[in-house]
Structure 1
Amino acid sequence: MASSETHIPKVDPAPYVPAESTMREFTLKSILLGLFLAVILGAANAYLGLKAGMTISAAFPAAVIAIAAFHLPFMKGTVLEQNITRTTASVGEALVAGAIFTIPAFVMVNLNGERLWTNFHYWDVTLILLVGGLIGILFITLLRRTLVIDAELPFPEGYACYEIVKAGQGGDSGAKYVFGAMGIGVLIEMLKNSGGFAIFKECKEFFINFPNSVIHHFNGSKETLADITHKGGIAFQTPLASPALMGVGYIIGPKYSCINFAGGVLAWLVFIPLALFLNPNFYDQLVAGGMSVSNSDMAYTAWYNLVRPMAVGAMLVSSLYTLWGLKNSLARAFKGIFSKHELNAGVPNNRLEKDLNLKWVFISAIILI
């Protein structure tokens, strides 16, 4: 039986650009373009992450756009400048991903019946992201050699970007596909968005009620206690006509798309109907405040207050499980930080071996933590 795993070809250890090269790399235009792309792709990923619950790497579109930009007559640049731009953009996107998966927790958390945050605190969020971003950069600096060079991990995204950049030097940037997909996405949004032509709706929602089920409750002596009528149903929604979600599905592939779909099936076809069925007084409890409540409203509030926290808890447990599985690798990485090899890795005229002082990097990371 053929393996379904993606095969990552072994990359030639010799760098594409010689280590002793003095080619321009860390330039103002590469940084500014990278920051601009970080803002654009970061905003897109923030929207996508909050809507779909996942983000995708900005490295691929950033690599393609960087190649196209540095081929313009007034932006002529080197392959190393393209790499700096791509890296800057992808790091900005990663910071956004960290924000959207952590900051909303401050709004969701209840302490003694009160929300921790009732709205977003701009400067608090800015400080959190600034410190978090710096800590991430410092730890990447510490673990770069151990995880990237010594561990010989495949890094499929990095290899794919390497192939994109290498192909781009021959004139095949692939920019037409990126901008063509953007145009198709804009067209679909215009046709379905209320701010556009609104020719069709993004999705269709409906609710299927279950027949009432009367459960006869009795004690251990088989004496009747009460007859309770349970109600329930299933909230259905057609797939969204969303270019963003279609793009995500294409990028992450069938395996992870199916995992994501399975989560939706468990939530909306199992847990929410179960929550509605097991609480026969749910409707009466909701209308006690005088508001009219539909079946869709009950399904939504069951998802928001019951199922969603379960999903967050599952995500936290899986994160801890992943970290536990990496404990040996991380221990070896930190053990090698202060080795003689690490501290004296700098070699004159070798751009690949230029490191910051790792002792000061480590101390700075500890201070920020």
Structure 2
Amino acid sequence: MRSNEVSLEKGSSKQLTVRSLVIGALGSIIITTSSMYVALRMGALPWPTIFVAVMSLAILKALGGTNLNEINVTHTAMSSGAMVAGGLAFTVPGIWILEASSEVSFLSLLIVTLAGTILGVVFTGLIRRYFIEKEKLPFPMGVASYETVVAGDKGGKKAKYLF
């Protein structure tokens, strides 16, 4: 049991890396932009969870020296772009619905975006323990994302099916 604890410590130290944050941030910008376009164009918000799981896996595997924790951090950062897009795609049109002649400055839009993002993180953090650990509710998208990353990490035929 002790050897497992040591290996987990070594693996866990590589989960929050500079490259996972940089790739996650760049991916989040791309996902936010594409999700925003789809939401405004079609009136529906796509959930690119599986797509970003595969992209994170592919990019980090190509760079080498990665693990499941680093891939998870990267794909979670990328997925957050869709959440930001949801907040923007359904808030900004609401401003024009309330007053058609209103103009929204870039600074106002940035403040609303950052405030919504920070509030989302805070409230998600507050309810996480209850919904994830205590209630053990099923989250099919999260399970599918996990299975996708694990299958890709193992390689072989399962990884080929992902692509």
Q: Tell me the TM-score normalised to structure 2 length.
A: 0.87
Structure 1 residue identity aligned to 2:74: T
- Alignment match of 2:73 (pick from 79, 84, 97): 84
- For the pair 1:46 / 2:33, whether they are aligned, the reply is no
1:306 aligned partner: none
Query: Contact 1:108 / 1:116 at 8 angstroms: preserved in 2?
Result: no
**Structure 2 unmatched ranges of 5 or more:** none
1:93, CA displacement in angstroms? 1.5
Q: Matched residues, percent identical?
A: 25
- For the pair 1:153 / 2:127, whether they are aligned, the reply is no
**Cα distance in structure 2, aligned partners of 1:21 and 1:104:** 47
1:83, CA displacement in angstroms? 0.2
- For the pair 1:98 / 2:82, whether they are aligned, the reply is no
Structure 1 residue identity aligned to 2:86: A
**Structure 1 unmatched ranges of 5 or more:** 1-16, 178-369
1:58, CA displacement in angstroms? 1.9
1:135 aligned partner: 119
SS of structure 2 residue aligned to 1:152:
coil
1:174, CA displacement in angstroms? 5.2
Which of 1 and 2 has greater Rg? Answer: 1
**Cα distance in structure 2, aligned partners of 1:109 and 1:84:** 38
**Cα distance in structure 2, aligned partners of 1:92 and 1:175:** 26
1:69 aligned partner: 59
Runs of 4+ deviating beyond 2 Å: 172-177
After superposition, what is the alpha-carbon deviation per residue over 1:144-198, rounded to whole angstroms, capped at 9, x for unaligned?
Answer: 1101111111111001001101101111445873xxxxxxxxxxxxxxxxxxxxx
- The 1:143/1:176 distance shift into structure 2, 3 A limit, reads closer
Structure 2 residue identity aligned to 1:161: S
Structure 1 residue identity aligned to 2:133: I
Query: Contact 1:70 / 1:77 at 8 angstroms: preserved in 2?
Result: yes
**Cα distance in structure 2, aligned partners of 1:175 and 1:28:** 29
**Cα distance in structure 2, aligned partners of 1:159 and 1:94:** 18
Structure 1 residue identity aligned to 2:66: G
State the number of aligned residues: 155
Structure 1 residue identity aligned to 2:8: S
Q: Tell me the TM-score normalised to structure 1 length.
A: 0.40
Using CA pairs under 8 Å that are at least 6 residues apart, name the structure with larger relative contact order, 1 or 2.
Answer: 2
Query: Contact 2:48 / 2:79 at 8 angstroms: preserved in 1?
Result: yes
Query: Contact 2:39 / 2:45 at 8 angstroms: preserved in 1?
Result: yes
1:125 aligned partner: 109
Question: Structure 2 matches for 1:274-293, cutoff 5 A?
Answer: none
- For the pair 1:34 / 2:34, whether they are aligned, the reply is no
Structure with the bigger percentage of helix: 2
